Chains A and B, each alone.
Chain A
């Protein structure tokens, strides 16, 4: 029997109301190709490089170093997150390596209460084999809907292979202006824009979200550009503006202010004026 592909899983959330339609269980995969200044879960960006710094700092001895692996004792762990705070590598030692079947077994505990499953991260498409197998399995074994939240910086062939087993795709478009996108994420947005086109074309684009960051994405022209881009694809695309919050961020972003209500309201209006029908902001 061929060895099963393993997923690297940061966390499984039984319940979420903000990751797609209805109540959904959410799987956070470890690893992201972007390196956003304001990442809200920076400990999901990189894989652990076994530097061992967290092992020293764990107050309850739940971590140990075994060659080039940090071992995590879930029973001893008190979830204080000291390991995550001290990690110099934007990672976490609390990662589960799991087959799609094992993940599905966990999700089945929640099936009476959920419409579906959302895979996020990190960037879910950074683990395409595991993701693809998991989605296939969920579709074969249940009536749950499937969704991914992606930054869109994905090769179109990868997205093409995932789409048959996906009901919804939520794309985070960090910025429309290539320079600003580069400054915020370290990457260009060409692939992200292409992903939005590709997913919209098959009617599976559930939502496009942009975080409003003062000084970066709070300009009216920024939002109008995104809105016009989306209107060309389909004026009914759901566009949600997320208010930047410093909670969870590190480095420079921790010092940034949140945009005001007035700014958020004005930008929603801007997007609507450009011809988008479904525009809102996160509560």
Chain B
């Protein structure tokens, strides 16, 4: 279960919890014990998290500590010294083909055994809780579904899909489908349309390979459920090769690999702690920050690999489900919008806004290109999956991000007309190979013309957009940043009801802190 975001008054970056903080610590644990709004498992997670936060962070330089203190570099609630990777992408095909000695699973010979093997493995996800990647479900299950009549396969798939949501009620649990249509893929889309679960989903979309009817079914779902995402498959195939997967929200990584850590550079904060001009930003400040960002990442990765000995001890590695050679880490970026606009102010052009002005858009491309180039200069020994370099990722925000627009997006509510929006952001998306996405909400008219939505998606992909989320302004499901929440869960939380979904709580915090995020421009069509 995803941890909720709580302030830990005893958390200390350099030295861990100090003796004088002991009472604070006890108070916090007491508050969890008696919290009527938490289920027992949520209490356990909160207490475990509190204990974990008493540890010090792996040592970094004074300059890195300063940027962490300023919030320019941010650890995204990962806590101090990591004891597991942030994301993993186990080779589920292997456990279907061969079973697993440790997990006491036999090779799957039918659909029932296949979903049993998968659900078992999900239960042991070696991450913070629920599995961030649950497989290319259509490809994994199609061999078992192919020869079954619909009436035999569908109830099993429906039960499987329901169990994923009920056992792992977390909107960062993510499945992939596509690019080709399969009976399994078709049924999963239909079941999702019917059941409406919170589980995240991406269609790897290839205008050449994905049959139009299948893509239109995905559009129909998206207008109701705000999922699946539409991921530019040809682009990712070109960048990564066939073995890439999507986990969590829109996070790209290798199959059998994982992401050790996601450390973020908050460009909006960077702007407020730097008073130079654009040249100085590009030539001095961004290189300095990129070096510090990789330093912080490396301190965490080294801790996990060398101190924790994660690869040596992981049962997933021993069973051959994960491969140390396929791992990497994300250098995240957030608040591009604010940095670009501030730089335009400093250039004497306060009217020129990112997304609306060509010169501002060019500055955005310069910033992102420069950052990417600088990040690639610094080795990260254990990122074997990506040439011992970290991977660039557009992170879309947490509730603390006051005044930082998610990732490389445009601020909700002030987006330009859709073609302009896509033309402005596509060159940026093209540069971010480790995951980036944008959200477009249409009015209900779109439901009568899903072909039109597909036209927009096709156009976006032609321009180089990597990943887009489509939704409808009256949908029960809202895409918060990268994950989904039910409107009813947001409302229930306002009324102080218990919730099964940890992510509903972080969504509520997010929207309370940044209510404008709920007011994306509705595309009147």
What residues of chain A have their CB less than 8 Å away from a CB belonging to chain B?
Answer: 14-18, 21-24, 109-110, 112-115, 280, 282-283
Contacts and interface: CB of A to CB of B under 8 A. Distances in A.
A185 to B, nearest CB: 26
Given A17-B446, A18-B448, A282-B448, 14 more contacts: A15-B418, A17-B448, A17-B525, A18-B449, A22-B455, A24-B452, A109-B419, A112-B459, A112-B463, A113-B422, A113-B460, A114-B455, A114-B459, A115-B455
A30 to B, nearest CB: 23
Contact of B456 (A21, A23, A280, A283): A23
B254 to A, nearest CB: 31
B455 A113 contact: yes
A113 B419 contact: yes
Interface of B: 417-419, 422, 442, 444-449, 451-456, 458-460, 462-463, 525
Given A21-B451, A22-B451, A283-B448, A15 B525 contact: yes
A21 B449 contact: yes
Contact of A23 (B422, B452, B463): B452
Contacts of A17: 442, 445-446, 448-449, 452-453, 525
Contacts of B448: 17-18, 280, 282-283
A265 to B, nearest CB: 16
A278 B447 CA distance: 16
Contacts of B454: 22
A111 to B, nearest CB: 8
5 contacts: A23-B451, A23-B452, A23-B453, A113-B418, A115-B455
B459 A113 contact: yes
Nearest to B420: A14
A280 B449 CA distance: 12
Contacts of A283: 444-445, 447-448
Contacts of B463: 112
Contacts of B460: 113
Contacts of B458: 112-113
A22 B419 contact: no
A18 B456 contact: no
Contacts of B422: 113
Contacts of B456: 15, 23, 113
Given A112-B463, A113-B419, A283-B448, A18 B455 contact: no
A23 B455 contact: yes
B451 A112 contact: no
B445 A14 contact: no
Nearest to A240: B448
A109 B453 CA distance: 18
Nearest to A281: B448
